[in-house]
Structure 1
Amino acid sequence: MNTNGTPFNGFLYSGLMNTDQGLKVIEFNVRMGDPETQVVLPQLTSDLGAIILDLLANQTPQVTWQTDDFYLGTVIASRDYPRNVVNGRPLPTIHNDQVLVSYAGVAEENGQPVSHGGRVMMVTAKAPDLKTAQQLVNATLDADVDATAYTFRHDIGFHAFL
């Protein structure tokens, strides 16, 4: 980016797609709350605070990642997302302790967490292979999420199996 005259200091997330013609850029993001980030950050093994401090001091941070497991996450969205989002629905209670849950569009009503916005939660699993991670996520969604109130996809990751 410096070579192109657009220096950048911070977090840059690139959304890439592997095609027959090679890697193609889908998008660039600098936000840390996107669903893609919610799958990437749990794989960070170095200290995020130290990385941020290094960046603020214009130093190159030492960043390390886990490389042994696969992570897959699926967003739980309001049933009518993105058109007519209904807020105030009780959140699904996830009972599988083998998955991570990241909250996004959530508010509090009468002391209880409820949906507030389109993307409400993400369920992420880690496993030795991508298929197992996908199966963990999909089984959790089917068991714990009311599909009349929320929507989610079962096809996340399926291109990796073709």
Structure 2
Amino acid sequence: MTFATCDICDAHEDQLASGALAVLPPLFKAYGREPVFSGPAYTLKVFEDNALVRTALEQPGNGQVLVIDGGGSLRCALVGGNLAVLAVKNGWSGIVVNGCIRDSVEINGCAIGVRALATHPQKSIKKGVGDVQLRVMIAGVAVRPGSWIYADQDGVLVAQEKLI
């Protein structure tokens, strides 16, 4: 699938005005070999603990985008190279992390799109604390399970329904 977030915004100005389509603030850096990705959101809310991230990525992704509300923490990474490889293997379209990643060189070699706030060399704890498939807030934008994520070189969009 080919699309441009700019074109989606232009074609859906009414949804931007109503809030049915939102743009994540330009805080996220792009990683991975796939600069363009989209799919329905699978949401996680965790804080400095990536055990649920692994659990999610071990499941068939079926083209979904894993959206991780990590509370914006810059103190450790929630996704690393091994998890990116797992995401590709299991058919995830992309990963959006409101937090950090690590192993950026390895992730950049993977056929997946990843957006994150930054890189951090320290791994997270693994207690399995967090919530799965609930409404999360990513940089002030609500993302619900099943919301459609569209990401390209110009930004990340969150739509309440599939637009293209």
The structure showing larger relative contact order (alpha-carbon pairs under 8 Å, at least 6 residues apart) is 2
Q: Which has the higher strand share?
A: 2
TM-score of the pair, normalised by structure 1:
0.27
TM-score of the pair, normalised by structure 2:
0.27
